[in-house]
Amino acid sequence: MSDIFREVEEDLRSTQLKALWDRYGILVIGLAVAIVLGTAGAIYWQERVMAKSEAAAAQYLAAEQLALDGKPADAVAQFGKLAQETDIKGYTLLSRMKEAATRLETSDRTGAVAAYDALAADGSVDALLRSLASLKAALLLFDTTSADELRLRLNPLAKDDNPVRHSARETLAFLALRENSLGAARKQFEQLADALDAPRGVRARAAEILMSLPPSPVDKPSAEVSKK
C-alpha cells in the first residue's frame, strides 16, 4: 500500500514541476543566457581596456624615449598625438603635462604656457592638476610678463583653499622683490616663514631670504641711539 502512495506522490510532484517549468522555464533560460552573455561581455570589455592601456603605455614610453634621445620636437608630437587619440584618462593627462614640459626643451615657451593654460581651463581635469598647471604657466611667464598679469594669475592660487597656495604666495613674494617692494616682500616672506602648514622647504627659503633683506626703516636705529 505504501508503494502506491509513493507512486501517487511522485506523479503529483512530476506534474507540479512540469507545470512550473511550462510557466517559468522560458524565464530561467533567458536568465541563464543573460548571465552567460554578461560574463562574456565583461571579459571582452576588460580585455579591450587592457589592450588599450598597454597600447597607450607603449606610445607614452616611446615618446619618453624620444625625449631622452634628444629629439624633443618628435617627443612633443608623440605626446600630443597620444593625448588626442587615447581614451585612457590617466595617459591623456600625463601626455598633456609632458607635452607642455617638453615644449620647453624646444624653446617653445609660448607653446608650453598655452598647453598649461589649456589644462588649467579644462574642467574635467582634477583640481590639483589644474592648479599645478596654472602655477607652472605663471612661473614660465615670471621674467617676461607684467606684475599686474602675474598677480591676476597668482592671486586665485594663493587663496586659503587652494592646494598650491604656499608656492603661489612664495612666487608673489618674489614678484614683490622683483618690483623692489621690499616692505610687501618682507611681510609675505614673514607670513610664509611662520606658516606651520607650509612645506618645510618653503618656510626655510622664506627665513633665509628674510635674513638677507635690508632692515626696514622701523628696524633702523635712530641717529641719537647711533651716536650713543
Domain ranges of the chain: 57-124, 136-213
**165 with 155: CB under 8 angstroms?**
no
167 burial type by CB count under 10 A (0-12 exposed, 13-18 middle, 19+ buried) = buried
- How far is the C-alpha of 215 from the C-alpha of 201, rounded, in Å? 23
Residue 178 contacts by C-beta under 8 Å, 6 or more apart in sequence? Answer: 142, 147
> Is pTM, for the whole model, over 0.85?
no
Q: What is the pLDDT of residue 4?
A: 45
Continuous H helices in 69-162: 72-85, 89-103, 109-120, 127-141, 147-154
Q: What is the pLDDT of residue 221?
A: 43
Q: What is the pLDDT of residue 142?
A: 93
Nearest of 34, 85, 29 to residue 58 by alpha carbon: 85
Q: Please report how the helices 2-68 and 72-85 are oriented relative to each other, as an axis angle in degrees rounded to 10.
A: 150
Cell numbers 614640459 label which residue?
Answer: 101
- How far is the C-alpha of 159 from the C-alpha of 162, rounded, in Å? 6
Return the half-sphere exposure (C-beta side, CA atoms, 13 A cut-off) of residue 132: 11
Q: What pLDDT digit, counting tens, does each position of 89-129 carry? A: 777 888 888 888 899 888 899 999 999 999 999 988 889 99
- Taking only the tens of pLDDT, the chain with its 228 residues reads 445 445 444 544 566 555 655 666 566 556 655 565 555 555 655 655 576 667 777 787 887 888 788 888 988 888 888 888 777 777 788 888 888 889 988 889 999 999 999 999 998 888 999 999 999 999 999 999 999 999 999 999 999 999 999 999 999 999 999 999 999 999 999 999 999 999 999 999 999 999 998 876 554 443 333 343
Q: What is the pLDDT of residue 12?
A: 45
Q: What is the pLDDT of residue 37?
A: 55
Q: What is the pLDDT of residue 2?
A: 47
Q: What is the pLDDT of residue 76?
A: 87
DSSP SS3 for 108: coil
Strand ranges, E, within the chain: none
